[in-house]
Amino acid sequence: MESSRGPPRVKNKAAAPIQISAEQLLREAVDRQDEKLKAPTQRFADQEELREFQGRKRKEFEDYVRRNRINMNNWTRYAAWELEQKEYRRARSVFERALDVDSTSVTLWLRYIEAEMKTRNINHARNLLDRAVTILPRVDKLWYKYVYMEETLGNIDGARSVFERWMQWEPEEAAWSSYIKLEKRHGEFERARAIFERFTVVHPEPKNWIKWAKFEEENGTSDLVRDVYGTAVETLGDEFMDEKLFMSYAKFEARLKELERARAIYKFALDRMPRSKSVHLHRAFTTFEKQYGDRDGIEDVILSKRRVHYEEQIKENPKNYDAWIDFARLEETSGNTDRVRDVYERAIAQIPPTQEKRHWRRYIYIFLNYAAWEEIVTRDIERTRQIYQECIRLLPHKRFTFAKVWLMFAHFEVRQGQLTTARKLLGQAIGMCPKDKLFKGYIELEMKLFEFGRCRQLYTKWIEWSGTNSQTWIKFAELERGLDDLERARAIFELAVDESQLDMPELLWKAYIDFEEGEGEYERTRALYERLLQKTDHVKVWISWAQFEIGVPDSDADEDEDRPISDDAKARARAIFDRAHQRLKDKDLKEDRVALLNAWRSFEAIHGSKEDQEKIEKQMPRKVKKRRKLDDDSFEEYVDYVFPADDESAAKLAKLMANAQRWKMAQAQAQAGEGQNGA
């Protein structure tokens, strides 16, 4: 009979004599791949066909860079193709031409340098890096590339000299850290120490002194560490003291079991630093005493001292709610539940004297902190509910309310599984004292519960209460769009734009236009622009419309593909610019005309021909200074714009008026002569 045993166990778990590397696996995968799955390659019969292909490609690339010189991607693709053809001189020429166009393009410099490094032209790469950091000394990426190359080549002195040049520009902290790491990697600790000394002069932040101290702790002696901390304290002085520096110093002494030194450091810092800047230091001192001293005694002393301080503040001003909050938090750290409740109960008894909201803002936070503490720490659910109810009872809702209280109470009920109670609470709040924050918080709650029908009802009530809030309409439409109910979203936008009084109608129109454009409804978008321009002739609307027309794809084009802008789109955009210019000219809006012409000129600079650019340049105005009389008979200077087209029209009109005047004078003389002859 066969025994029902499991799989045999591997007794020898030693490494196999023949190891298979990842490179071997990849090489075999490439060698064994199916020929049918390989990408098609272009084969050339002879050198002449290859040169013809290369000439064609170069002409295409030259056309690209001639049409749009400022687009560095065209230049980099051109150079990359020349590198693939092993035409290194041509690639360098392309890179140099691109640098003549824009010598501040960091990406272009990096591509050029990496190309030289890949072809092992180290001197070329070094020269390029030297040029790059000379032109762009504030670009850290170029310096990092420079020192990385030098260190990779084993030229440590060269890397060090590059770092020295870099440090003369006083760069960010990361650059100094990289220089220090270089010296540490090569065991030059004295050099690293000297760099730290210069580093802390340029960036004297406490964290940098702490880095130096940790370096000395790892590679130096305890005396050197103490010297660093001592120098830091003297350098920073009382004005720039930082608790992190003293905490690090004290922890270092504690690690060396120098407890008295550590205690003296803590006391020195606490005596000189204000309480507001030494919270964490005080906490660290408490932890230190808990670990090495008399725990109960230290805690009682510290807590008693703080209690006396807060009691004095409260005695001076019982309505100092910030002091009550700090007092309650102090008692929370003690862990004594009765003391905490006593402080909170005394605090909420100090009701503000007036029904002005500014007096209630800090008072409300006492209730909220009290309720959060009862829920999280003591887990007394019923008491938490009573705290919220008492807070709501005290608030004068007819004059003002706090949405935060209602929302926190509702979220508390949701956490207890009382969803119906939470909804009743928020409904009561909206009925008694509606606020935008209440509606927004209620809708967010229902959205998390995926109750979209309730969200619609709430948005409807929100709009009924405050139909002038543009953001409400926009959020409502976004909800319907998220539910793929485009017709409903469009109807909401239509109702919104028909509102006569909106706080920010421009946001609503923009959202409506973006909605139609995002859905690909370009004709509807154009109709919206027409409707908007019936309400306002703002220049930004015209510019936005023109930019929209540039982005509209042709009917037979794929929207996702990287396509050039068609001539039809350019023509539509120019028509919008021309129409806008005529409208603004008729209304004599000179400032808006200038803004429109600047936008038009930018458009033609990118998409237009040389003739189009010259045409726009001819329309650009010139600035002139004029004087006008004020009501108090004084004069002021102001800047006016004179447009060439207006000058020509004025000149023609003046010429016409002069001719009419001469004709009138001639007629008068002729009549006078006839009168004399008759006499």
Taking the C-alpha atoms of residue 62 and residue 128, their distance in angstroms, rounded to an integer, is 24
Task: Quote the pLDDT of residue 95.
Answer: 84
Determine the average pLDDT of the residues in 95-112.
Answer: 85
Closest CA to 541 of 502, 574, 591, 580: 580
Cβ–Cβ under 8 Å, residues 173 and 203? yes
Q: Taking 50 as the threshold, does the pLDDT of residue 22 lie above it?
A: yes
Q: Which two tokens stand for residue 515?
A: 């909605």
Q: Taking 80 as the threshold, does the pLDDT of residue 640 lie above it?
A: no
Determine the average pLDDT of the residues in 429-440.
Answer: 82
Least reliable range by pLDDT among 28-42, 240-254, 436-450: 28-42
What number of CA atoms fall less than 13 Å from residue 270's CA on the CB side? 17
Task: Quote the pLDDT of residue 3.
Answer: 47
Q: Taking 80 as the threshold, does the pLDDT of residue 106 lie above it?
A: yes
Cβ contacts of 299 within 8 Å, gap of 6 or more: 286, 290, 334
Taking the C-alpha atoms of residue 629 and residue 632, their distance in angstroms, rounded to an integer, is 8
Q: Which two tokens stand for residue 171?
A: 């760069």
Taking the C-alpha atoms of residue 180 and residue 195, their distance in angstroms, rounded to an integer, is 7
What number of CA atoms fall less than 13 Å from residue 361's CA on the CB side? 3
Q: Which two tokens stand for residue 565?
A: 């802008």
Alpha-carbon separation of residue 608 from 305, 561, 615 (angstroms) = 77, 22, 10
Helix axes 106-118, 140-152, angle to 10 degrees: 10
E strand or H helix that includes residue 640: strand 635-642
Q: Which amino acid is at 659?
A: N
Q: SS3 for 379-428, per residue?
A: CCHHHHHHHHHHHHHHCCCCCCCCHHHHHHHHHHHHHCCCHHHHHHHHHH
Q: Which amino acid is at 547?
A: Q
Task: Quote the pLDDT of residue 7.
Answer: 59
Task: Collapse the DSSP code of 122 into the 3-class scheme (helix H, G, I; strand E, B; otherwise coil) and give the result.
Answer: helix
Taking the C-alpha atoms of residue 214 and residue 627, their distance in angstroms, rounded to an integer, is 69
Task: Quote the pLDDT of residue 1.
Answer: 41
Q: Taking 70 as the threshold, does the pLDDT of residue 52 lie above it?
A: yes
Q: Taking 60 as the threshold, does the pLDDT of residue 336 lie above it?
A: yes
Cβ–Cβ under 8 Å, residues 285 and 243? no
Determine the average pLDDT of the residues in 411-425.
Answer: 85
The conformational region for residue 484 under phi > 0 = left, psi -120 to 50 = alpha, else beta, is: left
**Start-end of H helices in 17-152:** 22-31, 47-67, 72-84, 88-101, 106-118, 122-135, 140-152
Closest CA to 302 of 316, 288, 323, 319: 288
Determine the average pLDDT of the residues in 620-628.
Answer: 75
Taking the C-alpha atoms of residue 555 and residue 538, their distance in angstroms, rounded to an integer, is 30
Task: Quote the pLDDT of residue 436.
Answer: 80
What number of CA atoms fall less than 13 Å from residue 141's CA on the CB side? 10
Determine the average pLDDT of the residues in 527-538.
Answer: 79
Task: Quote the pLDDT of residue 2.
Answer: 45
Q: Read off the pLDDT of residues 264-284 as tens digits, 9 standing for 90 and up.
A: 888 788 777 776 677 788 778
Find residue 450's DSSP bridge partners: none
Q: Taking 80 as the threshold, does the pLDDT of residue 110 lie above it?
A: yes
Q: Which two tokens stand for residue 436?
A: 């935008």
Q: Taking 60 as the threshold, does the pLDDT of residue 344 lie above it?
A: yes
Helix axes 403-415, 436-448, angle to 10 degrees: 20
Determine the average pLDDT of the residues in 493-497.
Answer: 77
Phi and psi torsions of 622, nearest 5° = -120, 150
Q: Read off the pLDDT of residues 178-225 as tens digits, 9 standing for 90 and up.
A: 888 888 888 888 888 888 888 888 888 888 888 888 888 888 888 888
Taking the C-alpha atoms of residue 340 and residue 320, their distance in angstroms, rounded to an integer, is 17
Task: Quote the pLDDT of residue 651.
Answer: 52
Q: Which of 153-162, 491-500, 573-582, 585-594 has the highest mean pLDDT?
A: 153-162
What number of CA atoms fall less than 13 Å from residue 245's CA on the CB side? 28
Closest CA to 621 of 653, 652, 584, 654: 584
Percent of residues, the chain, with pLDDT higher than 90: 0
Taking the C-alpha atoms of residue 439 and residue 479, their distance in angstroms, rounded to an integer, is 14
Q: Taking 70 as the threshold, does the pLDDT of residue 91 lie above it?
A: yes
Round the average pLDDT of the chain to a whole number and report it: 79
Taking the C-alpha atoms of residue 497 and residue 511, their distance in angstroms, rounded to an integer, is 11
Least reliable range by pLDDT among 110-119, 408-417, 575-584: 575-584
Closest CA to 374 of 359, 389, 395, 363: 389
Q: Taking 50 as the threshold, does the pLDDT of residue 410 lie above it?
A: yes
Task: Quote the pLDDT of residue 38.
Answer: 56
Helix axes 470-482, 436-448, angle to 10 degrees: 10
Task: Collapse the DSSP code of 450 into the 3-class scheme (helix H, G, I; strand E, B; otherwise coil) and give the result.
Answer: coil
Percent of residues, the chain, with pLDDT higher than 70: 89
Taking the C-alpha atoms of residue 302 and residue 294, their distance in angstroms, rounded to an integer, is 12
Taking the C-alpha atoms of residue 212 and residue 232, their distance in angstroms, rounded to an integer, is 10
Q: Which of 9-13, 343-347, 647-651 has the highest mean pLDDT?
A: 343-347
Cβ contacts of 246 within 8 Å, gap of 6 or more: 265, 266, 268, 269, 281
Q: Which two tokens stand for residue 109?
A: 């410099």
Taking the C-alpha atoms of residue 332 and residue 159, their distance in angstroms, rounded to an integer, is 56
Cβ–Cβ under 8 Å, residues 143 and 164? no
Determine the average pLDDT of the residues in 245-265.
Answer: 87
Closest CA to 474 of 449, 453, 502: 502
Task: Quote the pLDDT of residue 555.
Answer: 59
Q: Taking 70 as the threshold, does the pLDDT of residue 168 lie above it?
A: yes
Confidence of residue 291 (pLDDT cuts 50, 70, 90): confident
Cβ contacts of 662 within 8 Å, gap of 6 or more: none
Determine the average pLDDT of the residues in 43-70.
Answer: 75
